Chains A and B, each alone.
Chain A
Amino acid sequence: MLHLKGRDKMKSLFLWLIKTFKDEFLFLPGKFIGFLVCIFLFILPLLNNEPHIMRIFIMTFIFAIFAASWDLLSGFLGQMSLGHALFFGVAAYTSAMLNMYLEWEPLLTIPLGAVAAVLMGLIVGVPALRLRGPYLSLATLAFPIILLGIVYIFRDITGGELGIYGLSRLGSTMFQEYYITLILMVTLGLVMWKITDSKVGIIFHAIREDEIAVRASGINTTKYKLLAFSLSGFFAGIAGGLSVHFIRIAGPSTLELMTSFQPIIWTIFGGIVTIYGAIAGTLILYPLMEFLRVVPELRMLIFAGSVLVILRFMPEGLIVWLLDKLERECPRCKVKNIFTRTTCRICLANLK
């Protein structure tokens, strides 16, 4: 009996998967493209296993997690953090030190680094609760720079400018590392997307729009803000830990101003408050930046110029703009439709 029940459950889950696949992924251009990109990334190493290309993509996946974690905190909760490098750097140094001095495995040091980042998120979160808007953004900007000063002072532990090097590898081959980071990016991306889609996510949206109203409806905003800080810190910490075990150096560059700004640029380029926008933005911009190495002098110029021009005409981000063109929401039943349809695919309402 129990066995049958389990099988029924499996069957219904399987049917549900097929149904969602058929209804959502095949009929919506946005999801279909996302699906194709996923498939492409999964078979890419089979088509081309040049180490250089794989290296670029592994870093892209790690940074995509980082950018999405920024979007979770700053996009959804509206707590603009200009110092996200803090989480990345704390996790990076924690994993590196655990690996270097205690010789623990990456499997253990990466989660512990993420936990350290969560603790840091709580430490930052407490003063942040008192600050609003631009004050918060600029205060968060300060933390990684303060930590950078401390790293330089204790140079015999942290290695100063050189950092800690010679860490153990993430996987034994490049191939393994590629799939570890890809699968982590996809799962963590989906987890973050689910979180923001859940009840918690709705409260995050509400806090961004009007915090006083949320408090007036009896919701403890302090709790949710701290939750967002620790969640975001956790995901950013995983990215930090992955990156040090991949490049095998934990240096002061993990705490620099540019490390804080990069995820912001990627996320806003793709589309803020979406999670998928952050991931897509990173998947476009990071490889672009690397392939532009063929023209080293003009690299940053082309990068900044394209960001400037695209944001000038699509201020909400490239992916959001694209989805807006490709998909249309039915005014009656709120179901998404492809742009070529004139009537809704569910309720046949006129899509004008």
Chain B
Amino acid sequence: MQILVNGLIHGGVYALLAVGFSLIFGVARIINLTYTALYMVAAFIIYALSQIAGLNPLLSIIVTVILVSFLGMFSYQIFIHPIREHATTVLITTVAMAMIFQELLLIFFGGHFRGLPSLVSGYYVLMGVRVPNQYFLTFIVVLIILGAVWLLLMKTKLGIAIRSVALDREVANLVGMNTSRIASITMLITSFMAAVAGVIVAPIFTIEPHMWLQPIVIILAIVVMGGLGSIKGSFIAAFIIAFAEISVVFLVPMGSFLKGAVSLTVMIIVLLIKPEGLFGVTFEGER
């Protein structure tokens, strides 16, 4: 039961991060390793606003999410957009940006571990397990955000544009879409998702300036396993990986050392059976 609860929470957070990562890969064709750094920045900003500056939690959440979304978009426009033709250079630029965020946070906040009090207190006993209300809130927020993104992608004009750019950038350009603007908007949306993820995990996980490194590996595993660019795939793979990880930690002695290894082994097995991931599209045209 504990496995189920923790698996759902981790799975939800991973799903939120992985869907955003997958979306930006699909649209802009960049492997954005800064992504989880944004999530960390969000966690730190909310810590600073609510604990140090003493703002109202709800207000600080809104401010954080807006700040981080625009931070993500502007960093894309300034540093990545001009060099997007050089795929490997973009990769290193995103790593460098993540390192800069990490170092800035280390300078401003120091390296110790921090926690944030829960937004809602109390807990609920579910089949003999104490489940804090914060967990329910987290899970509901994850579902709402993912649902909203899904609606945006499937039902609105912008969503159709985003999907068509992801499908074929050149043709989308030919029929008159401003592909670079759509890439920027996608960056804004995905940064928003990273920010929300950062805000909701802040009370559950510990906050420290290296917290971006562990999730980035897991998210890469999830996204690859689900198939790059496939949102449904990322969502399902996130829960598979989360459950695999949590079961190993709970059931195997010394399992926490194997946490990363297990999820990556699951990923490699999936890739060996199906090289384009669970729901991946093959990029035949791109070769």
Residues of A within 8 A of B (CB): 74, 80, 127, 130-135, 137-139, 141-143, 145-146, 148-150, 152-153, 210-212, 257, 261, 264-265, 268-269, 272, 297-298, 300-301, 303-305, 307-308, 311-312, 315-317
**Does B100 contact A301, Cβ atoms closer than 8 Å?**
yes
A135 CA to B221 CA, complexed, in Å: 10
**Does B271 contact A127, Cβ atoms closer than 8 Å?**
yes
A243 CA to B127 CA, complexed, in Å: 54
Contact of B107 among A149, A264, A297 (CB under 8 A): A297
Residue of A nearest to B83 (CB): A315
Min distance, Cβ B10 to any Cβ of chain A, angstroms: 18
**Does B93 contact A211, Cβ atoms closer than 8 Å?**
no
**Does B275 contact A135, Cβ atoms closer than 8 Å?**
yes
Min distance, Cβ B272 to any Cβ of chain A, angstroms: 6
Min distance, Cβ B238 to any Cβ of chain A, angstroms: 15
Min distance, Cβ A315 to any Cβ of chain B, angstroms: 4
What residues of chain B lie closer than 8 Å to A145, measured between beta carbons?
217, 260-261, 264
**Does B261 contact A149, Cβ atoms closer than 8 Å?**
yes
Residues of B within 8 A of A (CB): 25, 31, 78-79, 82-83, 85-86, 88-89, 91-93, 95-97, 99-100, 102-104, 106-107, 213, 217, 220-221, 223-224, 228, 254, 257-262, 264-265, 267-268, 271-272, 275-277, 280, 283, 286-287
Contact of A137 among B31, B103, B217, B283 (CB under 8 A): B31
**Does B92 contact A265, Cβ atoms closer than 8 Å?**
yes
What residues of chain A lie closer than 8 Å to B268, measured between beta carbons?
127, 139, 142, 146
**Does A265 contact B95, Cβ atoms closer than 8 Å?**
yes
Contact of B265 among A74, A146, A268, A269 (CB under 8 A): A146
**Does A311 contact B96, Cβ atoms closer than 8 Å?**
yes
What residues of chain A lie closer than 8 Å to B91, measured between beta carbons?
80, 264, 268
A146 CA to B228 CA, complexed, in Å: 22
A210 CA to B286 CA, complexed, in Å: 10
What residues of chain A lie closer than 8 Å to B85, measured between beta carbons?
315
**Does A149 contact B260, Cβ atoms closer than 8 Å?**
yes
Contact of B257 among A133, A149, A301, A308 (CB under 8 A): A149
A142 CA to B220 CA, complexed, in Å: 9
Select the residue from B85, B106, B259, B275 with max chain A CB neighbours within 10 A: B275
What residues of chain A lie closer than 8 Å to B89, measured between beta carbons?
268, 311, 315-317
**Does A141 contact B95, Cβ atoms closer than 8 Å?**
no
Contact of A133 among B217, B258, B283 (CB under 8 A): B283
**Does B93 contact A312, Cβ atoms closer than 8 Å?**
yes
Min distance, Cβ A245 to any Cβ of chain B, angstroms: 27
What residues of chain A lie closer than 8 Å to B93, measured between beta carbons?
307-308, 311-312
**Does A305 contact B287, Cβ atoms closer than 8 Å?**
no
